[in-house]
Chain A
Amino acid sequence: MNDIDPRPTTSDISRRRFIQGSALAGFGAFLAACGTKGAGSAAPSAASEPPASTGSSPSPTTAATSSAPQSPSAELNFANWPLYIDTDDDDKTKHKTLEDFKAKYGTEVKYSEIINANDEFFGTIRPALQAGQDSGWDLIVLTDWMAGRLVRLGWVEQFDLANMPNKVANMLEIYKGIDFDPTDDHHAPWQSGMTGIGFDNAVTGALTSLESLWTADPKWVGKVTFLNEMRDTIGLTMMRKGKDPSKVTDADVDEVITECQKAVSDGIVRAFVGNSYAEDLVSGNVVLAMAWSGDVLAKQAEKETLVWQLPDEGGMLWTDNMMIPKGAQHKYTAELMIDFVYDPVIAAQIAAWVNYVTPVKGAKEVLAKDDPELANSPLIFPPDTFLAKLKIFKSLTEAEETSYNDKFSTLLGN
């Protein structure tokens, strides 16, 4: 909902601050329920109308991919979320990572910051994929649950892991063997983020427990928001009760709904929102919220007393994943690109700009040489004490997803 784009236009602002701003904008766009248009110039029509030359005049390299020794294609169509890759301070269309890729393989990456919401983007590629046609994209990035859906539908290509030595070697252990892709050859994590609690320390004092979200303390009654993302709210509510959201059951969901309903009828919860809670934390309408790490971090620039806390009971970890849609024109080159961003040097370059959790082993060591402060940020490189407390929501079957969404909608008044 919030079209936040606090990127500074002047260069006299610290790099750190700059990174935070960008992360917020990325977060904002990423989580925007209403699908605000991002910085990308790609119009909404871009998905239905694949970028030029994908369909027409087959490039010589496309023809070459069919013969035995594969070579990178002349172009690669890459769809991603806004502000989710390192970007030149002066020229928003320049991304060093993509230029490095071109220098190495000669491929022109057509990078579109077109994905603003999982459902919305899914809607644009569904007709083509359902009809067994090329979606126009070679590489797309979607959140776990949507990635799970695409894998279940059989709408993504299987990777040839022989082409991806970096990915095989450098993907962090915590990401391996996820339920929707136990063999790790249909998806590759791009970046991750965390869900915990955010609060205004000046009003609430320091909080460390999820219990506070259910406590009718006069300091925050009616000034608490929960998230309108089903997986985040159900996940945190389960963790409060000491349950594991990666093993959610129907009974758990029913219990969660009752618990949340209680917080609503007790007058504690003001509303269920998307990332608009970040604005409300600054204005004081909200003083305690279920919150995404990057949002609060970025808003500290406007209100220093804001704190993001990984609750004692634990928090949620979610991941956006790279996938190759079925029938993609440049599958081999897409595999090269995935492998390329799993090179620790490249991963560090991206992580330093976007301020998210990177899934690549060795990126921290690379970054430590340039920017030790950033390398020590628990929000980019969560230490083991963090990781131990983070859970990934179970990948749901369609029947479960429909049922849970439905119950959650009822809680939200829909």
Chain B
Amino acid sequence: MGARGRLMRLTPYLLLAPGMLWLIIFYVYPGIQMFISSFWSGTLETGFTVSLDNWTTYTDALTRYEPQFARSLVYGAAATTICFLISYPLAYTIAFRGGRYKNVMLFLVIAPFFTSFLLRTQSWKIILGDDGILFGPLKDAGFLPPEFRVLATPAAVVAGIAYNFLPFMTLPIYVSLEKIDGRLVEAAKDLYAGPWRPGGTIAGAIIGTIVGAGLGAALSYDILVMAIVGLGAGLVVGSLFVSESFLRIVLPLSLPGVFAGSLLTFIPAVGDFVNAEILGNTQTRMIGNVIQSRFLENNDYPTAAALSFILMAGILAMVAVYAKILGTEELTSAG
């Protein structure tokens, strides 16, 4: 009994041990190392010294790279929004209309992950090429001016990020939709939940306009045109596809999935540098590009480390606020 009891008490720790060890070796230890190096001063040839006085590295880095920080947040938010707009209808269709093709469709969502991240991003250069398979025919037909291009613009970078992180949004939303009991929707209909005409039309128009204008600003396209496009799309979706049962049952119950999906998309999107490197140009550099260049090209380890910590702290703060607003516990108990 004694030995067995002790073992039982130890069990949780033993089960945690591999994970904790992993975290300590590959996250905590390098994290501390990096934190210390952010207080370095000196150069490679003279050697580095640590001093707390070097906290100014943080303020200097923040001031100098403010545009890149802002750009990362804007691109991350835009890509997350696009992912949501694509993923929600996709996940909804798979969950409720997938039938026996459910698994095949889920596989197709994940299938791109079988190819390397770099290759997938490179292939966008072929798709979006100035005279490539997409724009070449459109230019020949006269729909687009010959100088039109998407590559080396913000749109290419955001599109690349959205594409690369799409499954991270789709899968959590699918999981939360899949769990919804269909009888709840039937019950709602029995209780006279019908189409949501006037409300849906107005809400769709407002949300569509805001999203359109926001994306227009993020991608540096004409905000007015994008707002009008958003308004139109919002009107159609709001009036035709949004029912009262969806609004009152399905949407609230799927919010935990939306919450998880947006975090899983937004966090890596903000830190991404591959898409900006391959698909962008000098005006689309994100904070990840700066950190990479500071570390590897300029041997400026303190600034690179400081930038990494600012990014981590910033994301942590934003996630905390987001969780406060869309608290997961309330969400799971809602409905």
- Chain A residues at the B interface, C-beta cutoff of 8 Å: 1, 34, 119-120, 126, 149, 152-153, 218, 221-223, 264, 269-272, 276, 279-280, 283-285, 398, 402, 405-406, 409, 411-414
Contact = CB atoms under 8 A, between A and B. Distances in A.
Given A119-B297, A405-B298, A285 B129 contact: yes
B284 A413 contact: yes
A126 B299 CA distance: 12
Interface stretch (B52-60, B144-152, B158-166): B144-152
A222 B149 contact: yes
Q: 8 tightest CB-CB pairs across the interface, nearest first?
A: A413-B285, A413-B282, A414-B293, A271-B281, A398-B45, A414-B290, A405-B298, A285-B130
A264 B152 CA distance: 12
Contact of A413 (B149, B289, B296, B297): B289
Given A264-B283, A271-B280, 10 more contacts: A153-B45, A271-B281, A271-B282, A272-B281, A398-B44, A402-B299, A406-B300, A413-B284, A413-B289, A414-B294
Given A283-B126, A402-B43, A414-B289, A409 B297 contact: yes
A409 B285 CA distance: 11
B172 to A, nearest CB: 31
A120 B299 CA distance: 11
A1 B129 CA distance: 17
Contacts of B297: 119, 405, 409, 414
A271 B298 CA distance: 20
Interface residues of B, number: 33
Given A406-B298, A409-B298, A223 B282 contact: no
Nearest to A126: B44
A402 B281 contact: no
Contacts of B278: 1, 276
B49 to A, nearest CB: 15
11 contacts: A1-B118, A34-B277, A222-B147, A271-B280, A283-B129, A284-B130, A285-B151, A398-B43, A409-B298, A413-B282, A413-B284
Interface in B279-320: 280-285, 289-290, 293-294, 296-300
A229 B132 CA distance: 28
Contact of A411 (B282, B294, B298): B282
Nearest to A410: B64
B68 interface: yes
Contacts of A280: 125
Interface string B118-140: 10000001100111100000000
Contacts of A413: 68, 281-285, 289
Contacts of A283: 125-126, 129, 131-132
A62 B147 CA distance: 65
Contacts of B147: 218, 221-222
Interface string B265-284: 00000000000011011111
Contacts of A222: 147, 149
Contact of A412 (B44, B129, B131, B293): B293
B21 to A, nearest CB: 21
B30 to A, nearest CB: 15
Given A221-B147, A271-B152, A414 B126 contact: no
A270 B294 contact: no
A132 B129 CA distance: 50
